[in-house]
Chains A and B, each alone.
Chain A
Amino acid sequence: MTAPIKDYLKRSTGFHAARWAEPVVCEMTGTGRRGIVFDDAPAPTLPGTAMRKVAPALPEITEHDALRHYLHLSQMTMGMMGVSLFGTCTMKYNPRIGERAALEHLRNLHPLQDASTLQGVLELYDNFSDFLCEVSGMDQFVFQAGGGADAAYTHACVTRAYHASRGELQQRDQIITTIQTHPCSPATANTAGFEVITLTLEENGYPSLEQLKSVVGPRTAALMVNNPDDMGIYNPDIKEWVRIVHEAGGLCFYDHANFNGVMSRLRARELGFDACMYMLHKTFGAPKGGGGPAVGAYGCAEHLVPFLPSPLVVKDGDSYRLDDDRPDSIGRVREFWGNAPQVLKAYAWARAMGAEGLREAADISVLSNNYMDKRLGEVRGVTRSNPDITVPRMEMTRHSVEKVTQDTGITIFEISIRMTDFGIDALWLSHEPWLVAEPFTPEAGELWSKEDIDYWIDVFEHVVTEAYENPEIVRTAPHNAPIHQLTTALDEPDQWATTWRAYQRKHVS
């Protein structure tokens, strides 16, 4: 939580992000500049063919300059610095103690060590699996998948292996999902060779049972859904959905990326699901962002355990071992056992929270969202999806500024960019397709204080007022960010360069 600051919006008008006028590091080179030089640095012991003939063209720079340069760059990143209410993503504080624990306990380990020397980390994996089994009702968790989409892919592969083992794979070639399920479910189903059947939302904000029944049948391999969905609407018929799909012989997968509002309030297995996925880098307090390491914790019931990726951590009496001899396993979805440091950090977070902590966090996140929902509803031109339904929203709500765009021409993109001028991170809009025009979907979670949430809404309201009164300032934003609007350079492959070599080729020569 941030400290309460009175009249934050008024007081923060002087905000400006750091903006360092600095070339890229390759242009900062000065011949002979060095960091630490070791007189006795050993010569590399590489076979002759692998040795460089010419020294690499690396910049020569002092240690201090290098550190300062990267610090400056980090200050100019445009995210994760201000108030960040990024929906379907649950932004959480990542306790420093997790970093410390990962450093101290994993730094000197290597996954190829003999298992007898890895007992601590294996025990941690086993304990965390038990913890998540308790939370979900499943029988086994694995942490190999390198993110939520990777866990969805794990499920698509498990589905394939499961039906193949029963001789039904030829027949079961369809996976059913919904239009507001995260796109990684249909995408990974396609990747694993299945045809995708997507259900459309109906009056209540979710597809009807009749619609589901119209497509379930002998070709059904699985159902893959998230709930609440991308609009924040919880499908109360979900248990019946699972029953119908099971009756037809399909598996059911619960993408639990939006778990935050229902933590400890429901168990995927008790709803009948065969498998589920949690995002350790979102819900369980491990870091994310910048494409950083992620973990999709994939859990399943007994009947799917044989198909899980290998190796599996198993307890033998008092010790742990890695079981790689599992003939029905789908194999590996990731190297070794996934991002172990993230698993450790998430485990530390989960243990610190405990059962009561999870429940309190879930309740706070629902409360925060409903508070936001109410206040945003009072902002000029803001509406929300399915305005007529009465079911309470969970941890996020899909809103829209369609009216603002109609009145002023200002879009949600421009509002989002303008908000960065006040130290707000660019917001979450919507996964595709956009069923609601000019959408945004903030998720407060349990982290942000009431002051943070109020500040976020104050800024939002301020920018909407600007859209009506001075649209040019919104259209030309950002004004206080490290950079201004990009020109069309990103449309020009001849112009952009993501490496120093490409830059030299395209711009210098």
Chain B
Amino acid sequence: MTRLGLIVNPVAGLGGAMARKGSDEPDMVQRAALAGRDLVSPVRAARALRAFQALSDAPVLCGVVRPDGSPDMPLLSGAYGTAQDTRDVVRDMQGQVDLILFAGGDGTARDICAANAGGIPVLGIPSGVKMHSGVFARSPERAGQMAARFLSDTAQRTEAVEILDIDEEARRAGRLSARLYTVARTPLDSSGARQNPKAGGTDPVGEMDATLASYARRMRDDTLYILGPGMTMAALKQRLGGGTLLGVDLAQCGQIIARDVDEDALLSAIAGRNVRIGLTVVGGQGFVLGRGNQQISARVLRNAGLPPIDVICGADKLAALHPQELTIDTGDPALDAEMAGYWPVMTGPARHQVMKVVP
């Protein structure tokens, strides 16, 4: 018998209404109460649950708070909706459920994935302020329907998607930047139910695979490759013996030779070497340098003599950028200005797309 885990983060979605960018601050619940606001996510969760129950009679185990209108639903924890509450519930759900359906935004997705040790597939009911991650359905109803379809046959395939969140520190400092936190598995969707803001009908995974294969084939033995973080780069690193998702790794002669290196390690590794840098674009803000890969610093770039940079990124991801630009922030404005311009991005085998790169 399959079971659905339903996580409702009660404070998700309040930031927007209160003219804030997210709801991560601890006193949010109280503030919401003070402002006399209705909670968003229990209502959206109830919509998803109705759609789910129209198609499935699998039992539902829920956590943090219940969806509206389901007073009898088994509840794992009744608490205030802090990040810790979410993580506790996810921990309790391990081994108990076959899919975690949650009502929240990027922050909730992050908390869930951080505690999801067993890698249970995750699907989001769009209820947050920020929803840059790849786990969200287009609407609560579709989330419920997708969950029901998935539970009817859990042998169905899942796919890896990026869990992103806006860097709140940076935002408060006036800079907008999405960070990649991890990768989650979510039900493979062929019906267009998942939110994919600018989707095309092509096969981005297969296209990327062929691109990476051709890139790996052309890597030169006399060159040291600095490979940045991200799902695309992780797939390249996989071809070279396996590297890190979130770190900067070094490769040479078709092999990863160092993992998760810091700026100092980079500086000593590049001395006197032929260097190339391989990067991808992370998140919705189009950053290629300066977010999540600060190790590849202005000093590293200058010491290596401004080496050639290969940006590898699926055309579907480029299409989703608004505006259609890439961004760099090495911390050295003069270097940023020097590097700005038009860069070719590898989008497929024998395909490049030119992107404007702005500081």
Q: A409-B142, A488-B190 are in contact. Are A214 and B354 (CB under 8 A)?
A: yes
Query: Nearest Cβ distance between residue A440 and chain B, in whole angstroms?
Result: 14
Q: Does A432 contact B202, Cβ atoms closer than 8 Å?
A: yes
- Is A127 located at the chain interface by the 8 A CB criterion? no
Nearest chain B residue, comparing its CB with the CB of A196:
B351
- Is A202 located at the chain interface by the 8 A CB criterion? yes
- List which A185-231 residues lie within 8 A (CB) of chain B: 186, 190, 194-202, 207, 210-211, 214-215
Q: Does B342 contact A211, Cβ atoms closer than 8 Å?
A: yes
- Contacting chain A: which of B74-82, B249-257, B311-319, B328-336? B311-319
Q: Does A196 contact B190, Cβ atoms closer than 8 Å?
A: no
Q: A405-B138, A435-B324 are in contact. Are A214 and B341 (CB under 8 A)?
A: yes
Q: Does B190 contact A436, Cβ atoms closer than 8 Å?
A: no
Q: Does A432 contact B355, Cβ atoms closer than 8 Å?
A: no
Counting chain B CB atoms within 10 Å of each CB, which of A201, A405, A433 scores highest? A433
Q: Does A433 contact B316, Cβ atoms closer than 8 Å?
A: yes
Q: Does A434 contact B354, Cβ atoms closer than 8 Å?
A: no
Q: Does B355 contact A200, Cβ atoms closer than 8 Å?
A: yes
Interface residue tally for chain A (C-beta within 8 Å): 31
Q: A197-B344, A214-B341, A436-B198 are in contact. Are A491 and B351 (CB under 8 A)?
A: no
Q: A435-B324, A491-B190 are in contact. Are A411 and B341 (CB under 8 A)?
A: no
Per-residue B-contact encoding for A408-439, CB less than 8 Å = 1, 0 else: 11010100000000000000000011111100
Per-residue A-contact encoding for B125-139, CB less than 8 Å = 1, 0 else: 000000000000011
Complex Cα–Cα for A405 and B138 (A): 8
Per-residue A-contact encoding for B329-358, CB less than 8 Å = 1, 0 else: 000000000000110100100111111100
Query: Nearest Cβ distance between residue A193 and chain B, in whole angstroms?
Result: 9
Nearest chain A residue, comparing its CB with the CB of B141:
A409
Which among A190, A199, A413, A437 is the interface contact of B350 at CB below 8 angstroms? A190
- Is A179 located at the chain interface by the 8 A CB criterion? yes
Nearest chain A residue, comparing its CB with the CB of B200:
A432
Q: A215-B342, A435-B198 are in contact. Are A195 and B350 (CB under 8 A)?
A: yes
Query: Nearest Cβ distance between residue B297 and chain A, in whole angstroms?
Result: 26
Residues on the A chain within 8 Å of B354, using CB: 197-200, 207, 211, 214-215
Which among B319, B342, B353 is the interface contact of A434 at CB below 8 angstroms? B319
Complex Cα–Cα for A482 and B142 (A): 25
Which among B190, B192, B350, B355 is the interface contact of A411 at CB below 8 angstroms? B192
Q: A179-B353, A214-B342, A413-B192 are in contact. Are A200 and B200 (CB under 8 A)?
A: no
Residues on the A chain within 8 Å of B138, using CB: 405, 409, 411
Residues on the B chain within 8 Å of A194, using CB: 350
Query: Nearest Cβ distance between residue B202 and chain A, in whole angstroms?
Result: 6
- List which B191-229 residues lie within 8 A (CB) of chain A: 191-192, 197-202
Nearest chain B residue, comparing its CB with the CB of A410:
B139
Query: Nearest Cβ distance between residue A367 and chain B, in whole angstroms?
Result: 31
Q: Does A200 contact B192, Cβ atoms closer than 8 Å?
A: no
Q: Does B142 contact A198, Cβ atoms closer than 8 Å?
A: no
Interface residue tally for chain B (C-beta within 8 Å): 30
Q: Does A409 contact B139, Cβ atoms closer than 8 Å?
A: yes
Q: A211-B356, A433-B198 are in contact. Are A198 and B190 (CB under 8 A)?
A: no
Query: Nearest Cβ distance between residue A495 and chain B, in whole angstroms?
Result: 14
Complex Cα–Cα for A211 and B356 (A): 8
Which among B201, B342, B351 is the interface contact of A186 at CB below 8 angstroms? B351
Nearest chain B residue, comparing its CB with the CB of A193:
B350
Complex Cα–Cα for A195 and B346 (A): 11
Q: Does B352 contact A195, Cβ atoms closer than 8 Å?
A: yes
Query: Nearest Cβ distance between residue A363 and chain B, in whole angstroms?
Result: 33
Query: Nearest Cβ distance between residue B326 and chain A, in whole angstroms?
Result: 10
- List which B118-153 residues lie within 8 A (CB) of chain A: 138-142
Q: A196-B350, A434-B200 are in contact. Are A202 and B139 (CB under 8 A)?
A: no
Which among A190, A409, A411, A413 is the interface contact of B351 at CB below 8 angstroms? A190
Q: Does B353 contact A200, Cβ atoms closer than 8 Å?
A: yes
Complex Cα–Cα for A409 and B342 (A): 37
Residues on the A chain within 8 Å of B344, using CB: 197, 215
Residues on the A chain within 8 Å of B351, using CB: 186, 190, 195-196, 198
Residues on the B chain within 8 Å of A210, using CB: 342
Complex Cα–Cα for A207 and B199 (A): 22
Nearest chain A residue, comparing its CB with the CB of B353:
A198
Per-residue A-contact encoding for B167-196, CB less than 8 Å = 1, 0 else: 000000000000000000000001110000
Per-residue A-contact encoding for B304-326, CB less than 8 Å = 1, 0 else: 00000000000110110000100
Residues on the A chain within 8 Å of B142, using CB: 409
Residues on the A chain within 8 Å of B355, using CB: 200
Complex Cα–Cα for A432 and B352 (A): 16
Q: Does B356 contact A197, Cβ atoms closer than 8 Å?
A: no
Q: Does A437 contact B197, Cβ atoms closer than 8 Å?
A: yes
Which among A200, A409, A437 is the interface contact of B198 at CB below 8 angstroms? A437
Q: Does B342 contact A198, Cβ atoms closer than 8 Å?
A: no
Query: Nearest Cβ distance between residue A315 and chain B, in whole angstroms?
Result: 41
Residues on the A chain within 8 Å of B352, using CB: 195-198
Nearest chain A residue, comparing its CB with the CB of B350:
A195
Complex Cα–Cα for A199 and B192 (A): 28
Query: Nearest Cβ distance between residue A230 and chain B, in whole angstroms?
Result: 13
Minimum-distance CB pairs A-B, first 5: A409-B139, A433-B319, A432-B200, A214-B342, A198-B353
User: What are 23 sample pairs from A and B whose C-beta atoms fall under 8 A apart?
Assistant: A186-B351, A190-B350, A194-B350, A195-B352, A196-B350, A197-B344, A198-B352, A198-B354, A202-B324, A207-B354, A211-B342, A211-B354, A215-B344, A408-B139, A409-B138, A413-B192, A433-B198, A433-B200, A433-B319, A434-B198, A435-B198, A435-B324, A488-B191
On B, residues with C-beta under 8 Å from A are: 138-142, 190-192, 197-202, 315-316, 318-319, 324, 341-342, 344, 347, 350-356
- Besides A197-B352, A211-B356, A215-B342, 6 new A-B residue pairs in contact (Cβ under 8 A), listed by A number: A196-B351, A215-B344, A413-B192, A434-B199, A434-B200, A437-B198
